[in-house]
Structures are given as structure tokens and as C-alpha cells.
Structure 1
Amino acid sequence: MHIHKVIASAPLDRSGAIPLFRQLYTRLKDAILRGALAPGARLPATRELCSLLGVSRQTVLAAYEQLTAEGYLRGGVGQGTFVEPALNLARPDTPAPGLLRPLPERGAAMAAAMARTRFHDGPVRAFRPSMPGLDLFPFDLWRKIELRQLRRAGPHLGYSRPEGYAPLRELLCAYLRASRGVECTPEQIVITSGSQQALYLLGQLLLAPGDRVWVESPGYLGASAPLAVAGASLCTVPVTEEGMDVAYGAKHYPDARMVFATPSHQLPLGVTMSLSRRLELLRWASANRAWIIEDDYDSEYRYTGPPLASLQGLDRAGCVVYVGTLSKVLFPGLRLGYVVAPPALAEPLARAKAVVDRHNAIVPQAVLADFIGEGHFARHIRRTREAYGERREALLGALQDRLGERLRCGPSDAGLDVCVHFQPGRDGRLPEEARVDEAATRAGIELRPLSYYTHAIATPECAVTPGLVLGFSAVGPADIRQGVDKLAQVMEAEARRSGARS
């Protein structure tokens, strides 16, 4: 192709946001990289190219200068401008490469670990699970505190220690001791990018490939993923009305090195681990020198009494690692979580954290420290607990009125969600979760089928009655009641289809 045709193949976009010199630079660079302008090819003089393209000479000079600085062109005053002769370019017909080689086993495992995860997308609606009410958060107040922090420029805005902002760790320590019965010092707390990073770090730090780990099933798949990536062998343990079945785990997987548990509020079934089960789990872990990861993800929200004390507060052997998140009590976009590690584990965990991302962003940590220290955190928890209690009542009442014969509610005294189980229809059949899920999406409501939380490797003992997980915290009572109306229509339509099939 003639060099003038290569350069002037299409007019430059004079109405776009990209400067003309940048457009010309990009066009020339692409032509060089694909071989349309070969190494050593002479480019038109700047004045000639100005006339050809109808642009100023400064536009052409700026494009040539940028390409020369990056090594694509060579030239000088009175010498002309050439494509760098030493460039070693692929042939023009070389296909664009994919991966140079297949991912190694560890990389493939990491890429696939969260493949089943549904990420929140689009506007908030009923019944988005595990989502706090963003309409209740005082963003204006948060913004004022953030501006105050940014005005106070100083060393605290430079690089920080991997364990996190010291004032925040001190305040979290006081809060956890008072509200959750966690026994700790500030030195035991490591700030993380949400509980997800905490679980990833703990899996990498505490597990060797092949180590067995108990996981609840059905359970939180986001916890299983980082443990599997660490090379763990996941062992599913059933959940009963008293929580994780410790006796089952001890009998079937006696050599496990770790247990992942949600004692205060199990996701998705909503049960709370009984005191006898907690003590049984602690005795087993202590005797077998196994770690317990206690995920206390939404313990602030209990509607029939005060929040229950943590499992960590009962631990006397130093085997419980307490993981918390601020995504549920504040807002998920903050991406702040924390680990309360046994004293001997805190420093290794902080060093491992430094490998991943050096430290969390300091400004959000400093803002949160002020938010807690000035009393806003406690007020926000009280306000949201009251609001979520009202939203919970709206959901339970609407479900009873519209779907009392079709759905059976599980425990709902804590958390942000309710698990509901299908009741048999007149034909004795249970609705199909997948059909209800798809129809609900079409109707404009968002939920999770209970099977979403079931591990692919779950044993038959882990089976539960099919159903749904419905979040009640994300939207107000009116939206919840409208959502239940839509769900009732979906369930009625599914019942008619089931009858027609029979």
C-alpha cells in the first residue's frame, strides 16, 4: 500500500474528544506495528502531511515527536523522518496471539474458583441478598470527614504499615471487646481489603497443599474459593438447626487442619451454632491442633435480643482466627475488613498482607477511625438495626399473607437475609429452583436459589429442602411488599406449569 494511502486512509475525527495529534500518532503507530509501514520507510515531510490531512504543522510535529521518543521513528533536521530501521516486527499476517501457554494448575484454579459467583449488578432491588441499605448510610457526613482528613496532609498519608492504621485498630479492638466479646489487643488486628482478602491470606499462610478443611454445606462459596486456591481439600459438613455438625466432621474428616464456620449466623440457612456445638468444636480443634476461621460477617444485626458473643471469646487454645467485614454494616464499596489473629499469628499475617498489596488505602481507614471515634458508627448501627427490623417484619408479613402455603421461612432473628424452603404443591411436587430463579429475574426481582450455596462436592448428608434466599435490608418496606407480590405471581405460574406437566 502506498505510504500516503496508509496515512490518509480515513479522515481524522475533528469533533471527537481525542486530540488530532493523538489520532495521527495512533494511526502511524498501528501502521508500523502491523507492517503497513516497514522499517526504514520514509514518512512524508511535515508540511506535505499537513496539506494531505488538512491539519496544522504543530499537529504533525507533535505526533512525530511522540513516535520518535518512543522509538518508532528516526530523523533529524534536513535528514527526513523514517520508520526506525532496527525495529524487529512480526509479519503483517501474523495472527494475534492468545495465551503463550496454558495456565499452570494454580493459575487455572484461581481463574475458576469464583466462576459460579454472581456479582451484584444493576440498580438495587428486592430481594438482593447480603446487601446493606445504601439509602440509610450518611454519605454526606462521611464526605465531610474525608475532606477534613485530606486537608490535614501529613505523614499519615504516606506509606503505612501492612497491619493497618493504628488508630483504627485501637478503636476496632475496643468495639469488638465490648460488642462481640472478642478477646484481643490492637496488635492482633490486621486490616484487609474485605473479608475476601482475609480468607485468601489465611489460606495461603496456614494451609499446605492437600490439607483438609471443613466447610459448611450449603455455605458461603466465596470462602471456599480462596481455600481451594491454596490447595486445600474441601470437606463438606452438614448444617442442622444447631449449626455445623461437629460430630459428623470429626468422624469423617478427623485429620482436617482447618474449619471454616459462621457460628453467629450461618449463610444461607440462618441458624446459630448452639453453645454445646461451639464448645465441642473448640475441644476438637484444640485436641487436633486445627485452626478455626470464624467468619462473623453480619453479627451486628440481631432482632430478638443482643448480639451473641463470638466463638473467639470462648477460645483458650489460640486456635480461632476471627474474620470480620465492614461491608455489611457500612457499605460494600469501602472494601475494609479485618482479622483478629492469635498473638503469634498476627505478625506473620501482616507480613503476608504486605506481599499482596503493601497496605490498604489510608484515607478510608482514617475516615472510619473518626467515624467510630466520634460516635457515628454506633448511631449508624442502632439506626440500621431498627430499619432492618422493620424491613424484616415487612418481608415476613408479606410472605405469610401471599405465600404462606408455598414457602416455609427458616430462622430470621439475625442477619440481612431470610432462607425460605419450598412447600409441596397439591400434586406433592416441589417447585424447581432454577425455573423460579429465571422467572423472578424476568419479573424484576433478585434472589438466590438455595442450590447456589451448595458445593459441587457436597455429600448426600448435606442435602436440604429446596428453596430461596431473600434479602430484606437493601430496599424499603414498600419495595419489599411489591417484590413479594411479584414472587407470588412467579410461584403461582410455576405451580400451573408443574400441574400441566403432571
Structure 2
Amino acid sequence: MEPREEGRGPQFDFLLQEPLSRERAGDSLQKQLLHRLRAAVLDGRLPAGSRLPGSRALAESLGVSRNTVTLVYEVLSTEGYIEPSRQGTRVAALARPEPAGHPRPAPAGLARRAGRIRRSGPGGEAAPAFAPGVPALAQFPLAAWRRSLDRVLRHGGTELLSYGPPRGELALRTAVLHHLALARGMRCTPEQIVITEGAQEALALCVRLVTDPGDTAWVEDPGYRGAQTALTCGDLTVVPVPVDDEGLRTTASDWADRPPRLVCTSPAHQYPTGAVLTASRRLDLIEKCLLHGAWIVEDDYDGEFQHSGEPLACMQGLTPGAPVFYVGTFSKTMFPSLRLGFLVLPEPLAGPAAPVADELLRGGHRHEQLALAHFMESGQYSRHLARMRRLYRRRRDALRPALAEHFDVPHTVTGGDSGMHLTVRLPPTAPDQPLARAARRHGMAPRPLSQHSLLPDAGHNGLVLGYGNTPESAFAPKLRQLAKLVRELS
């Protein structure tokens, strides 16, 4: 026999003020009662120690089955809101927030390193005209890619639905190895290659593997925002190093006053200036890093698209034992949503880094990885790259005269020997960030050059114009509109 209820007093009137309704779509009687009792405990209408009505009595009062009440009590007991005992069911003692308006300390906000990350602007939508870093998506061979995917789906079996090797499928690592040896002069083994979720994860992995919070890292200035973010999230001291026409420009005082643990550079095609790091500077950087115990992150984000001659050899294969992490991505050569990149570990770190990477990474995208391996080994990848080199060279050659003819405001153009963008430098009378925001309202998404700089008063003002996904027919009208916006803002 149930204990005598103490739960018929006024503190339970809220249960009867509004009847439980069988007509409420999506809310069963059980769910309605559960929400009502839980809210009453949380807001203090049922204080700690209050004895609840017995399940039979409450069911009769509400006009529901006893089983409904019993199930609700069981859920509340499991969640810790009530405590059943031989003497009846009582409300548990809970730590409640102070009522609104009561003075209390504010909760901690973002971490300091998160607060130092600079927002680059909107993204993630369909790429408007002149968006940097977006390849010619309409030219991608979808039919060939679908055949590679279908092949994996037909023969892969259910085991591919499970986690894969943390450092990536061996078939893809081997395919990447073959491609890098032929196209980039790479010297490595499959054990040195790690498949990542894009270049950003590869950059973050480099930071985790060889730096500690407080270490110094150098970045190109102006430079790639993703590298700046990866270093900031590693709690590193980020030092901007200027870039000139020959790439990253270091001095003896840089090495003496603020020697780095990590140096991030894009030597084949500096982003965003388009400069190429000269051979003498490459060799000097490798020598200095060996001397100071530093590591180099070579970001080869679009080094495949050399517009004159063959693609440049990478720093990683320039000298034996080079302390270089090589980062590549398929976002530029295939399509961004594939979210696959790769990291080539320096040979001395391949063994020690393997178990660490296995703990930090989780194998995924198995079907896409194996499809990409087939796409590469079948020759489709190299053929696609050849077509895109011709297309981007043609678009580069069309954009330069279009700028001269239709962008009739003071400017200078840099870059263009490779890749998918040109950088247009503007006088300070045309501030690039308001200009970029205005351009977006007209279907364009150039990046403001100043956003890529960490140096105060560096004078970097201009627009990074991507032409990879912008057809030649759009150049003239878009550039005329852009010139009009410059005049309006100047």
C-alpha cells in the first residue's frame, strides 16, 4: 500500500491548472507530464525535499493511466531530479543557478588563443566571381569521378563503413607517393605520408607534432590566413616575416633575435603575392633551420599549376635530410568539398610521429580515399591537371589585358606565373576591406590584401582576384563594376 500523500497541497496546483491534452501533436501525455514536473523542480516550485503524490493518486487527479505516471517518475529518478524511497518519492536537492538579476560572475568566454583568431569574412556559399582558391568546378570530370566511386562501392564491402587507418588508406598514400615523385621531385616513402582532412588539418598536425605553447613560429606577411590560425591555436608566438619579389625575406637579426621553431612558407607560389622563393633563399632557409633546430612547413597549395615550364621541384626533395613538412591539398586540384589533403613527414620524424598521429587522427572518408587512389592510378588525375593548367593559363592571359582595359583606376598587378589568382594592389585612397564588402553585394568575392597581413602599417592594400572558377566572359563586366566601386569609395 502506498504511503499517505503529502502532495495534495497548493504546490501541486500547477499540475491541474492546465489539463494534459491528448490532442497536442508530437507531445504524448507522458512527455507533457515529464516536462511539467522537470520544469517545476528546476524553477523551485517543487523545492528539495518535497514529497510527490503517489503514482495512483496523481494518475487519478490528472485523468491518465498509472503507468504513464510511473514511467515519468522512473525517468526523473534516472535523471536525478527525484529520489524514491520506502517513505515516498521526494524532490532531490539540486544546485540551481541564481535567479535572474542576482549578481553573479560571468562565465568564462573564449580562450585567449581563440580570441586572437581573425575572422576572414563570410564563406561556405557558392563561390561568386573572383573568389580565390576555388578551381573550375564546372570543368571537373564528374563522370570519371563517379566511375571511381562506383567501383569502390561495388567492390568495397561493408568493412569500408568502419574506421580506416588513422594515417589514411595505403592505396591513396601510395598513389600520392607516385604522383609526388614524378611531378614534384619528392623523395619519400608511404610511411611518411599522412592523409588529412584538407590542408588545415595537416598544418594543425605539424604544430602539434613539433611545437610547444610559447614557441616562436614565422609566417609570411602578407600570408595565408589558415597558417596564421593553425599557429595561433597552438599557442605559439607568431612572428610575421616580410615577403618581397623573391619570397620570404629573412635577415641575420631575425635568426639572432627571434629564432623560430617552425617556419611556414609557400615557396612555389606565395599566397597571396604570387612570389616564388628563389633557390638561394630556399637553400639558405634549409641550412639555417638545420643550424637552429627548426622545422619548415612547405605549403604547396597550388604548385601543380605552373603556367610556364614544368612545376617547380619542392623544398622537401631539394637536399637530403631537409627538415621539411610538405603539405598538399586536393581542394585546388579536385574540388573543395572533397576535404582531403596530405602531409609528408620529414624522414627522421616518420617513425616517432606515427603513433602520435594514430592517436590524434581518425580514419575516415574511406570510399573517397580509395576512389581518389583509383582516379590517380588510372591516369585521370594527371589528365585533369593538364586540362586545368591549360584552362588557368588561358584565364590568366585573358584577365591581365582585361584589367588593363576595364579596371580603369590606379593599380599594379603581381603574381600570375602559376596558380589561380592575381593580386591587384591599390592606393590607400581605396581601402580594400570596404571595397571587398561592397563587391560581395555585386556577386564578387575578391579577398582584401590587408587581411593577410599581421604587420602594422605594412601598406598592403589591394584585392586578391581568383580566376579559377570565373569564366573569361565575366571579366569585363565584373571589372567595370569593381572599378566603379573603387571610385565611389575613394
Aligned with residue 295 of structure 2, among 291, 301, 305: 291
Aligned with residue 490 of structure 1, among 473, 485, 489: 485
Aligned with residue 138 of structure 2, among 135, 138, 149: 135
SS of alignment partner, residue 327 of structure 1: coil
SS of alignment partner, residue 326 of structure 2: strand
Q: Which amino acid aligns with 2:130?
A: F
- Specify the alignment match of 1:335 in structure 2: 339
Contact 1:302 1:414 (8 Å CA) reproduced? yes
Residue segments in structure 2 that go unaligned for 5+ positions in a row: 1-9
1:163 pairs with 2:171? no
- Specify the alignment match of 1:372 in structure 2: 376
1:219 pairs with 2:236? no
Contact 2:208 2:234 (8 Å CA) reproduced? yes
Quick one: distance in 1 between partners of 2:26 and 2:138?
A: 35
Q: Which amino acid aligns with 1:285?
A: C
Give deviations 1:52-87, integer Å, cap 9, x for gaps. xxxx999878766654554546789xx99x865335
Quick one: distance in 2 between partners of 1:289 and 1:308?
A: 26
Identity of aligned residues (%): 34
Q: Taking structure 1 as reference, are residues 232 and 268 closer, same or farther at Cα in structure 2, changes over 3 Å only?
A: same
Quick one: distance in 1 between partners of 2:14 and 2:300?
A: 65
Q: Taking structure 1 as reference, are residues 246 and 317 closer, same or farther at Cα in structure 2, changes over 3 Å only?
A: farther
Contact 1:191 1:360 (8 Å CA) reproduced? no
Contact 1:14 1:20 (8 Å CA) reproduced? no
Quick one: distance in 1 between partners of 2:18 and 2:399?
A: 62
> Which aligned pairs between 1:213-292 and structure 2 lie closer than 5 A?
213-247=217-251, 250=254, 253=257, 255-292=259-296
Contact 1:49 1:60 (8 Å CA) reproduced? no
Quick one: distance in 2 between partners of 1:164 and 1:399?
A: 43
Q: Which amino acid aligns with 2:96?
A: A
SS of alignment partner, residue 236 of structure 1: strand
CA root-mean-square deviation: 3.6
SS of alignment partner, residue 111 of structure 2: helix
Quick one: distance in 2 between partners of 1:288 and 1:240?
A: 24
How far residue 126 of structure 1 moved from its aligned partner, in angstroms, is: 1.3
Q: Taking structure 1 as reference, are residues 368 and 250 closer, same or farther at Cα in structure 2, changes over 3 Å only?
A: same
Give deviations 1:124-161, integer Å, cap 9, x for gaps. 21122222233333456545544553453254543333
Quick one: distance in 2 between partners of 1:406 and 1:20?
A: 71
- Specify the alignment match of 2:52 in structure 1: 41
Quick one: distance in 2 between partners of 1:13 and 1:149?
A: 50
- Specify the alignment match of 2:185 in structure 1: 181
Contact 1:117 1:222 (8 Å CA) reproduced? no
Quick one: distance in 2 between partners of 1:23 and 1:478?
A: 60
How far residue 278 of structure 1 moved from its aligned partner, in angstroms, is: 1.5
Give deviations 1:24-69, integer Å, cap 9, x for gaps. 5444433433333445333774465457xxxx99987876665455
Contact 1:322 1:339 (8 Å CA) reproduced? yes
Q: Which amino acid aligns with 1:115?
A: R
How far residue 325 of structure 1 moved from its aligned partner, in angstroms, is: 1.5
- Specify the alignment match of 1:434 in structure 2: 433
SS of alignment partner, residue 282 of structure 2: helix
- Specify the alignment match of 2:385 in structure 1: 381
Q: Taking structure 1 as reference, are residues 21 and 92 closer, same or farther at Cα in structure 2, changes over 3 Å only?
A: farther
- Specify the alignment match of 1:5 in structure 2: 14
- Specify the alignment match of 2:3 in structure 1: none
Q: Taking structure 1 as reference, are residues 86 and 384 closer, same or farther at Cα in structure 2, changes over 3 Å only?
A: same
1:444 pairs with 2:436? no
Contact 1:190 1:346 (8 Å CA) reproduced? no
Quick one: distance in 1 between partners of 2:195 and 2:407?
A: 43
Quick one: distance in 2 between partners of 1:33 and 1:331?
A: 50
1:115 pairs with 2:126? no
1:93 pairs with 2:99? yes
1:32 pairs with 2:41? yes
How far residue 379 of structure 1 moved from its aligned partner, in angstroms, is: 3.0
Quick one: distance in 1 between partners of 2:473 and 2:18?
A: 58
How far residue 430 of structure 1 moved from its aligned partner, in angstroms, is: 3.3
Give deviations 1:255-279, integer Å, cap 9, x for gaps. 3332211100111111111222222
How far residue 333 of structure 1 moved from its aligned partner, in angstroms, is: 2.4
Contact 1:237 1:248 (8 Å CA) reproduced? no
SS of alignment partner, residue 314 of structure 1: coil
How far residue 454 of structure 1 moved from its aligned partner, in angstroms, is: 0.6
Quick one: distance in 2 between partners of 1:268 and 1:214?
A: 16
- Specify the alignment match of 2:199 in structure 1: 195
Contact 1:440 1:490 (8 Å CA) reproduced? yes
TM-score normalised by L of structure 1: 0.82
> Which aligned pairs between 1:416-435 and structure 2 lie closer than 5 A?
416-423=420-427, 430-435=429-434
Aligned length: 476
Contact 1:217 1:236 (8 Å CA) reproduced? yes
SS of alignment partner, residue 246 of structure 1: coil
TM-score normalised by L of structure 2: 0.84
> Which aligned pairs between 1:353-364 and structure 2 lie closer than 5 A?
353-364=357-368
Contact 1:180 1:307 (8 Å CA) reproduced? yes
Contact 2:395 2:471 (8 Å CA) reproduced? yes
Quick one: distance in 1 between partners of 2:148 and 2:69?
A: 48
Quick one: distance in 1 between partners of 2:403 and 2:20?
A: 62
Q: Which amino acid aligns with 1:112?
A: G
Contact 1:371 1:377 (8 Å CA) reproduced? yes
SS of alignment partner, residue 487 of structure 1: helix
1:466 pairs with 2:461? yes
Q: Taking structure 1 as reference, are residues 91 and 211 closer, same or farther at Cα in structure 2, changes over 3 Å only?
A: closer
Contact 1:394 1:481 (8 Å CA) reproduced? no
Quick one: distance in 2 between partners of 1:98 and 1:36?
A: 22
Q: Taking structure 1 as reference, are residues 371 and 114 closer, same or farther at Cα in structure 2, changes over 3 Å only?
A: farther
SS of alignment partner, residue 311 of structure 2: coil
